[in-house]
Structures are given as C-alpha cells and as structure tokens.
Amino acid sequence: MEDVAWQVSSPPVPYEEAVALMEARVAAIRDGSGEETVWLLEHPALYTAGTSAKTPDLTDPSLLPVHRTGRGGQYTYHGPGQRIAYVMLDLGRRGRDLRAYVEGLENWLINTLADFGLAAGTRRGRVGVWVDLGQSGGEAKIAAIGVRVRHWITYHGISLNVSPDLSHYRGIVPCGISDAGVTSLAALGIGASMAEVDTALKRHFETTFGAAPAAPAPGFTDAQRAIG
C-alpha cells in the first residue's frame, strides 16, 4: 500500500470549506491525481446534522450554527479543543469492506486513548468510542465516528474530545443518545496537548491502516503543517 499523506491545519477551519476540500480530494484520489490523505483539524463551534438526524434532537437551535452534512449519523458537536480527523482512503484498493473500515477507526481511537492511560471501548448498539466513569457511575462518549463513501473512497471520519467546551453539547442530543453523557480527556483529568494527541494518532494510524509520511498533501494551503 502506498503512503498516506498526513496534514494538520491551524487555526480552526470553517466547516463548509473543509467539506469542499474533502470532496476535491476524493475526486483527485478517484482520478489518480491525488494521494490518500488524513487531515487533522479543528472547527469553529457548530453542530452538524448527519443523514439520520431527527429534528427533536436539536434542543436549542439558537445556540450554535447548524450545518447539514452528507455523513452518516445524527447531530454532533464540533469546536475548538476537539481533534477532527478526516480520512480519505481508497477502499477499492483496501478490500471494499466498510464494516472493517469502521472497526479500524474504532481501534485507531481506542489504541490512541490507551497511550494516555484511558481504557476506552465500543458499546453494542452505540456508535463511537466510550469510557466508563468509574465511581461516579455510567458511561460517556469521548469520540464520535461519522463516515461517507463515494466510489469506495472514504471521507468525513472521527472526532476526539481533547479539551472542548462540553457545555456546547447542551444544544443537541448527541448522536441521538439521551441516557449517557459526553466527556473529554481534560474532563477526565488527562492534560494531553493537541500535539501529543496528534503524535499518538499518527503512530496508531500507521499500525491500523498503513504508513503516513510527514510531507504535506498537495491542495491544502493556509496555516497548515505536517507532523514530523
């Protein structure tokens, strides 16, 4: 498998701009003019509504902007302090197994969180990656997954709560789940920097999906850097 380009953007990227860049990269991968790419970024604070979003789950539509999107899933929150990873891979060359791809995203997140001493996992019937809250009881979601595939090329991807403003989740029922909360590394007392999370994501991506070189991906501009 050829190397996967690895790109990081700063400051936060507007959501519609990010979608346009992803769609352009998907088209380039399909016609052979672009590389498979992982793009790490943050967004300004907003809600996104996936293809399964239900109107009652937007409990406070005045709190933040809402963007309709073609990814799977329901309502979710994005904002500063949350690491987004948009993953553009050619499943046509990787076995055309969407279930295996989603399981790969889950394992990528679980192994990344283990680097910070956190035992995370999946839950039957619930999308994303979860942690138990210990003595306080219950469980909380720490990472979300929402993907789309076009001509067997993936886009959208994952979001991992590093240190976002968790109060912003009050405007939605996250992913349609009302009987569990959301959390972050910071809320769990883990003081990981975004750079440390990025390094762990890169290392575990390589073991899960294949190599990710440090060279920036063509077509991505602005204040963007590659991870060394």
Q: Residue 196 and residue 110: Cα distance in Å, rounded?
A: 15
According to DSSP, the residues that pair with 141 across neighbouring strands are: 130, 182
Q: Residue 82 and residue 42: Cα distance in Å, rounded?
A: 6
| Residue 128 CB partners (closer than 8 Å, separation 6+) | 122, 141, 142, 143, 144, 145, 175
**Catalytically annotated residues:** 175
Give the 3-state secondary structure of residue 223: coil
148 CA to centre of own chain? 12
- Name the helix (H) or strand (E) containing 109: helix 98-114
According to DSSP, the residues that pair with 144 across neighbouring strands are: 159
According to DSSP, the residues that pair with 129 across neighbouring strands are: 143
